[in-house]
Structure 1
């Protein structure tokens, strides 16, 4: 398996330096546009029907006996009890915990799955008509952001950081509304955002201090739900029950 993956990686590198004929460009690159379009259309059609939801991000490697798995499950459950559905990446770990909690709370439970050579597989807690498959990460990330009324970010790896900073960037640049971004687990997140404040902002000036107002770090499910409910009370809005 590993040797096959290594050969595949080598092929991807070598192909970038190979000159393509016009026929190859038309076959491989141009026609890929239609596959991308199909993923967007399928995603829009399914996601537009789900109602108010919160996207939950986090590691696929978190095990059911670990505290953040249980915490993610409880957060998702409490979100459903307050009228929100839950969107996850549809796989194992934190994603499974989020869908499990939403399923337990009898709320909307959406999985945005992606075809990967490792780690990713469907979890059993997604509503059968709300499991959406993707080949392209960028299409999947559009769905995470476009149909969410808030973001809950559990401890995770590079994919979780990518999703977090995508949401922050889109809010910072006013491409989407200023929805709550809630990071769960101060022991995990404090170090990263101390660096953001001290180095990225303080030392280099590569962001503004007020950008930190977009992010809140908490440790309990109650804090997550309170932040979301208080945010929408300001606008006299509430999710549908």
Structure 2
């Protein structure tokens, strides 16, 4: 990666009045969080993730689905933010314009690193909610307030099973989250796309949406993706490597 390319990207970001940061699984993977399909190993290697991450799977065998997600929660709990997470949080704190992070990740590593303005498109695996949404969608329940050995635990309001607060196959994204992400993408002048494959919709459409409105798309990814052709600049490295360098270039 040339210093010229780095400083060009730094100037674009520094001059942005409305910056959107879109992050994907690659950012969390650098912290040791397995991607969705990488999580299917060991005891879970016999399963297809699409057999476990659906409302139908939960209805058929709620205990199995809950235990798989509990295993994934334990993996996420052990992970810590990496240099890329911290650089993005610092970028938000230092930037003079508006900055919004839109993430496809279900962990809270961005928040742990200090990011404050964030939209979780696919939910938050650390949270649990009533499967019947008895108090509205979502009805979040703090597991620490429950005294039960039920697996899954049951909602203290209505008795329905609790489930992870994540988006499963066949479900719509949270209306507020996708509406806010679309609005920000349509109004930004720069979008920084970090560690996403560009294959999962509707998040994959956000960069194109921004580019059509005239925004400059900057991609950080060691691999080529469907986003690469519309990017005005591509930093071919891992986020934990390149983002601290980018932050230094902005500071300089």
Mark yes or no: TM-score above 0.5. Answer: no
Please give the range of the TM-score, normalised by the shorter of the 2 chains.
Answer: 0.3 to 0.5
Larger fraction in strand: 2
Structure-2-length-normalised TM-score = 0.39
Structure-1-length-normalised TM-score = 0.40
